[in-house]
Structure 1
Amino acid sequence: MTTPPSQPAAVRDAEHFIQVEGGRLFVKEWRPDSPDGTARPPILLFHDSLGCVDLWRGFPARLAAATARRVVAYDRLGFGRSDPHPGRLALDFVAAEARSVVPTLLDRLEIRDFVACGHSVGGGMAVETAAYFQSRCRALVTIAAQAFVEDRTLAGIRVAERGFQDPDQLARLAKYQGDKARWAVDAWTGAWLSPDFAGWTLDAALAEVRCPVLALHGDRDEYGSAEHPARIAAGRGTVHMLPDTGHVPHREREDTVVEAIGSFLART
């Protein structure tokens, strides 16, 4: 078992693009200046439904420094600095990311074993990735992830959908998503509110996960109850509920989240 460094490592970052089917992905990496930085499996981050690399803000650098691991984040097609998505989101888009995009990313980034970590729907993609790469995913971390379609989730999305009818709110999102902002909102709300998506769950993927699991969740998450982390971690790992915390724990409780992930990875 490896142990985290007694002092956070200095971190260097780099940006580049990777071609995948459908377009180019923007990728950013944070590499700690630590002898163990290349020995430990890197952490692959999956962003949320309206997220992108830049919206992780300082979290990836903090995580790389605290864990002495390479951290990699990327913008999915249609988000951030990646190319526009070539069409509508298919209803199997969560599982499709693991099957169609992640293999190319791992190959181009020369990553063998890794840790999957995702926020919100990105947590679902991390679960699907851990299931698809059973022998290579060494640990799984979800942050405010959904495991099924819950009334609370749909209610939160409907509130957000109405909010984005305000041009000012859409303009704030466009600072990160550019001219893809409207597509991102419509893709998110359209997929989750579709009657055909109502039966979606992570149950099949969770049954295939073989690595240790940490499920982080805020007790005030407006997009999902405590049933989500309970289902994700059941028989596989640990639930860490964060008090007085909403849907973005890595911004609301960054120190706590970084410490929890660091301790979890040190134990695995």
Structure 2
Amino acid sequence: MSTPSQFAAIEWRGREVRVEYVHIAPERSDAPLVVFLHEGLGSIAMWKDFPEKLCEAGGFRGLVFSRPAYGRSTPRDADEVWDVDFMHRQAHEVLPAFFDAIGIHEKPWLFGHSDGGSISLLYASRFPDHVAGLVVLAPHIFVEDVTVANIELARRAYLDTDMPKKLGRYHDDVDSAFWGWNRIWLHPPFKQWNIENELATIRCPVLAMQGVDDEYGTLRQIRDIALHVPQTQLLEIPDCGHSPHRDQPETAIVATVSFVRRHSPDQGKRSVES
């Protein structure tokens, strides 16, 4: 990201937490606002320039932030252990508090990847009148064996390779980011985590995309979203793994801009850049 980070303070888990964020093109005051929610090991920095490219292509405003424990946001306390409801708490507690802290009172579009996609779905389920629409990339709505197996491989890589050094480029406290995510996904009770029944209250349009070669989940994840949320549009992307915005960025950008424009008729006419 080329824009310097700002910080907002929220109260969460009984203490003040600092949340890192960046605005993209705030001068486009009449444009749709797209909020980017990163993956389980993500941050503002890990998105690189994708949010800026997407916002430029669609003429959108953007808001990118690092969830607590990630990027330059406040790390986890040393004794802080996340429970099975950790994504629910991000959707129901952190996101509303963050929006209030920085004065977001409109209906944004949520663009969420992986855990960020799940959090987006949970937010739209709990607050159906507070969101214009969702674009979710490789979201999780239940736990699959392939997901757990590859997260276990990530644990081994973190312990045995230079993975901490590589992740350290994106997080002030890399252990906070990695172990918060890894330990809860490998916690045996988390295998029962399932949000399918919570999706029925989502009323906004949903674009759910996933790589055909996703190593962290099968296409059942997005196909089952469509079973519970009839207004869902599916995009299954060939030659693409778990991160469509990195593996097939142009496909993700064109599909997202087209979808947002189709469902934002009052936002003026801006062409999709290809």
- TM-score with structure 1 length normalisation? 0.90
Question: C-alpha distance in 2, partners of 1:165/1:98?
Answer: 30
1:24-43 matched pairs, under 5 angstroms: 24-31=18-25, 37-43=28-34
Q: Give the secondary-structure state (helix, strand or coil) at the position aligned to 2:125.
A: helix
1:216-259 C-alpha deviation (Å, 9 max, x unpaired): 10000000000001112332311101101001110111111011
The answer to whether the 8 A contact 1:214-1:233 is kept is: no
Kindly, what percent of the aligned residue pairs are identical?
33
Given candidates 240, 245, 251, the residue that maps to 2:240 is 245
Alpha carbons 1:98, 1:128 under 8 Å: kept: yes
Aligned partner of 1:48 in structure 2 is 39
Q: Does 1:230 align with 2:223?
A: yes
Q: Does 1:63 align with 2:57?
A: no
User: Which of 166, 169, 190 is residue 160 of structure 2 equivalent to?
Assistant: 166
Instruction: State yes or no: 1:209 paired with 2:202.
Output: yes
Aligned mates of 2:127, 2:29 — CA distance in 1: 20
One-letter identity of the residue aligned with 1:176: Y
- 5+ long unaligned stretches in structure 2: 264-274
Q: For residue 167 of structure 1, report the CA deviation from its aligned partner.
A: 4.5
What corresponds to 2:181 in structure 1? 188
Task: Specify the SS of the correspondent of 1:176.
Answer: coil
* Letter in structure 1 aligned against 2:238: P
Give the deviation of 1:20 after TM superposition.
1.1
Equivalent pair of 2:207/2:259 in contact (CA under 8 Å): yes
Aligned residue pair count: 254
Q: Distance in 1 between matches of 2:99 and 2:110?
A: 12
1:265 aligns to what? 260
Distance 1:245 1:12, change over 3 A: closer
Deviations 1:7-40 (A, max 9, x none): xxxx98453100012410000111165xxx3223
SS at match of 1:18: strand
Which is worse superposed, 180-189 or 149-158?
180-189
Residue 81 of structure 1 and its aligned partner are, at CA, apart by 0.6
Corresponding position of 1:136: 130
CA offset digits 1:23-59 (Å, max 9, x no partner) = 10000111165xxx32233111111111000100111
Equivalent residue letter for 1:17: F
Residues 220 and 247 of structure 1 are in contact (CA less than 8 Å); yes or no, is this contact kept in structure 2? yes
The residue type equivalent to 2:245 in the other structure is H
Q: Equivalents in 1 of 2:88, 2:197: separation in Å?
A: 10
Gaps of 5+ in 1: 1-10
Aligned to 2:115: 121
2:213 to 210, 220, 223: 220
Distance 1:27 1:15 in 2: 6
CA distance in 1, matches of 2:155, 2:5: 32
SS of the aligned residue for 1:164 comes to helix
Separation in 2, partners of 1:187, 1:106: 23
Contact 1:217 1:249 in 2 (8 A): yes
CA RMSD of aligned residues (A): 1.7
Aligned equivalent of 1:91: 84
Counterpart amino acid of residue 125 in structure 2 = A
Read off the aligned partner of 2:96 and give its amino acid letter.
P
Change (3 A) 1:48 1:12: closer
Code of the aligned partner of 1:19:
A
Which residue number in structure 1 is paired with residue 147 of structure 2?
153
On the 8 A contact 1:14/1:30 being kept in 2, the answer is no
